[in-house]
A = this chain, B = another copy of it.
Amino acid sequence: MPSPSELPAATSGWRDLIGLALAEDVGNGDITTLSTVPAEVTATGVLLAKEAGVLSGIDVTEAVFATVDSDIDFGATCANGERIDAGATIARLSGPARSLLTAERTALNILQRLSGVATVTARYVAATEGTRAKIVDTRKTTPGMRMLEKRAVLHGGGANHRFGLADGVLIKDNHLAAIGGDHPVRDAIRSARALAPHTMKIEVEVTTLDELDEALATGADIVMLDNMDTDKMTDAVQRRDRVSPGVLLEASGGITLARIPEIAATGVDLISAGALTHSATALDISLDFALNR
């Protein structure tokens, strides 16, 4: 089956990130390596998982090494989205020792963070088992890494919410306050429908069941249930099923891993969790070298 989780070859955003990261790490040169490792020494290396998790960013990692030195040979033995055990070999590398040492930290910083996101996502996804609910990300991503982190969410089995403010309509509390009046949900949906491109779905955030009813009646495509408790969400799902079965319901706000099973059981379609990206910690991965003499 096709998959959208590939780096777009045509745009260089992720290459810019590699350049930025190498520039801030390497700067005017790796003075330690240049003064202790002779230019002609070659080495082989192994990327090893130090803990279990889900891999993401192995292709970006390869690109980091290739950017530093095109003579580095990089052979991945695991794929993006693959579950890896502690101790697993992720990739084998060989090439000039200086280049491998210079690229090491930048490559690991990226791979560990992205795999951390994929790993935490997989935990959330596992907690939805047996339900229809999908785990989706938010815009609470690391500055400069949004595309890569959203891809890591896919690798972890989650799904993507909109990429940014320009590719989807999501009417939140502050927009409703700005519209004002007695029927802000209705009026905001209508205003967005009139002005946004016809290709965009209209999502609206509601905090009460009355607002939900108004959203369903006005033709919202997706309704975000903000900070509702489980009972209220169950009620919301029933109302939706009755009135507009095609509308998607998204649980949001105060989402923790512990609460996923009960929330998923309410019948909501989507559960969005900022923690997938804003609080993922690095997956422990190391690069071990052996010098060739």
Residues of A near any B CB (own CB < 8 A): 1-13, 16-39, 41, 43, 67-69, 97, 99, 101-103, 105-106, 108-110, 112-113, 134, 136, 139-147, 150, 159-172, 174-180, 188, 191-192, 194-201, 203, 219, 221-222, 246, 248, 269-270, 274, 278-279, 281-282, 289-291, 293
Contact A199 B191, beta carbon cutoff 8 Å? no
* B196 lies within 8 A of A31 (CB): yes
Chain B residues, CB < 8 A from A289: 174, 177
Q: 25 A-B pairs, CB-CB below 8 angstroms?
A: A1-B191, A3-B35, A3-B195, A4-B31, A6-B34, A8-B102, A9-B99, A24-B146, A24-B147, A26-B164, A27-B27, A27-B166, A28-B163, A32-B175, A97-B174, A97-B178, A108-B140, A110-B143, A134-B198, A143-B145, A167-B167, A198-B222, A198-B248, A219-B246, A279-B281
Nearest B-chain residue to A23, judged by Cβ: B11
The answer to whether B2 and A34 have CB atoms under 8 Å apart is yes
Instruction: Say whether, besides A2-B36, A4-B35, A191-B35, A29 and B166 are in contact (CB < 8 Å).
Output: yes
Residue of A11, A22, A169, A282 with most chain B CB atoms under a 10 A cut-off? A11
Residues of B within 8 A of A282 (CB): 140, 274, 278-279
Among B10, B17, B108, B199, contact of A167 (Cβ-Cβ < 8 Å): B199
Nearest 6 Cβ contacts at the A-B interface: A167-B167, A21-B143, A279-B281, A27-B166, A4-B34, A35-B195
Q: When chains A and B are docked, how far (Å) is the Cα of A290 from the Cα of B37?
A: 41
Q: Report how many copies the assembly holds.
A: 6
Are the C-beta atoms of A37 and B269 separated by less than 8 Å? no
CB within 8 Å for A178 and B38 given contacts A142-B142, A143-B144: yes
Q: Which residue of B lies closest to A36 (CB)?
A: B175
In angstroms, Cα B198 to Cα A269, docked, is 10
Chain B residues with Cβ below 8 Å from A30 are 8, 10, 165-166
Beyond A2-B34, A31-B169, 15 additional pairs, beta carbon < 8 A: A1-B191, A3-B35, A4-B29, A4-B196, A5-B34, A11-B23, A13-B28, A27-B27, A32-B175, A36-B188, A36-B191, A105-B165, A109-B139, A163-B197, A174-B289
